[in-house]
Amino acid sequence: MRSLRTDRRRVLARAALVAAGALCMTAAARGQDADNPAAASSAPVAAASARAPDPRATRIEAAVDKLRVDPLLSGRHKEHRLRWEDDEPQKKKPPATPNLGFLAWLASLATFINDTSRFLLWGLAIVLVALALVSARHLVQLRAFRRTKAAAAVSHVRDLDVRPESLPDDVGAAAWALWQSGQVPAALSLLYRGALSRMIHRFQVPITAAATEGECLALARGRLEPGALRYVTQVVRAWEANIYGGRGLSQAMGQALCTGFAQRLDASAPPASGSAA
């Protein structure tokens, strides 16, 4: 940029010098004409002969024309400058605005909930109805499975009928009546049948039709609570002692066995499903 300005100044100075020289030469010529009257009298003759071009004027006009076409003096010029990209003026960044994205998200969420609340309620109602139907279906299937399992259970263990409908409503009271009337084997048979029936149908003990007394006790472990298991063991031992061993039993033992049936096997709750066998 400085070199261009310097060149322009030099050209202007040169043009000024040329113009000043031309003016001086013109003034000198006029002075010579005024001092020489003879030359003035012969002016018509000289004018006639001066029609030939003056070399000095030609040079002056050529210099002026050259100055006119000089791009540095025409008033318009083009400049080509190279600059680094980093030198470009940086654009002013807009002032940072506070981050309102979270608030805008909350506002859009509230609007969405307000617009879709009716659909959400209907969807929730449909889900609840579907859950109720599925629960009812599972309940029906569970009951049907229990009925099928109970129907598939054994009805006799060896020659003893263990169906619930073959037993009296109050097994203990009926057995005690037999015991008091002197029918001890019948009372023990009724107690043993009732114990087997309760274990099979109430406590889901997997007793088979050919299971012995010892096998029945082994299968009952883990499925009966300790009190119920202890009572069943007493009934089985009394049954074996009287039926197989022919031993007599006391009235007090008979009363304890008969009155304990309802307390241990009817009032006792079955264990939760999935307990270890």
Look at residue 250 and tell me if it is in a domain.
yes
Domain match, 147 and 65 both: no
Nearest-angstrom CA–CA distance, 84 and 270: 92
Look at residue 102 and tell me if it is in a domain.
no
Domain match, 138 and 225 both: no
* Domain range enclosing 159: 155-266
Nearest-angstrom CA–CA distance, 25 and 19: 10
Q: How many residues does the chain have?
A: 277
Look at residue 107 and tell me if it is in a domain.
no
Nearest-angstrom CA–CA distance, 132 and 104: 39
- Please report, in tens digits, the pLDDT of each residue of the chain (277 residues total): 555 556 666 666 666 666 666 666 665 555 555 555 554 445 454 444 545 567 777 877 787 777 776 666 655 666 777 777 665 555 555 555 555 676 787 788 778 777 777 777 788 889 999 999 998 888 887 776 665 555 456 889 988 999 999 999 999 999 999 999 999 999 999 999 999 999 999 898 999 999 999 999 999 998 899 999 999 999 999 999 998 888 888 999 999 999 999 999 987 656 554 443 3
- Pairing state between β 156-157 and 160-161: antiparallel
Look at residue 126 and tell me if it is in a domain.
yes
Look at residue 82 and tell me if it is in a domain.
no
Domain match, 134 and 221 both: no
Domain match, 147 and 162 both: no
SS3 181: coil
Domain match, 159 and 253 both: yes
Domain match, 159 and 207 both: yes
Look at residue 46 and tell me if it is in a domain.
no
DSSP 276: -
Helix axes 226-239, 184-201, angle to 10 degrees: 140
Look at residue 69 and tell me if it is in a domain.
yes
Domain count within the chain:
3
Could you say which of 134, 152, 170 is where a domain stops?
152
Q: Rounded to whole angstroms, what are the CA distances from 65 to 68, 136, 208, 225?
A: 5, 113, 135, 131
Domain match, 182 and 146 both: no
Q: How much is the pLDDT for 81?
A: 76
Q: How much is the pLDDT for 39?
A: 45
Domain match, 181 and 260 both: yes
Look at residue 214 and tell me if it is in a domain.
yes
Residue closest to 176 by CA, chosen among 165, 164, 166, 188: 188
Domain match, 128 and 166 both: no
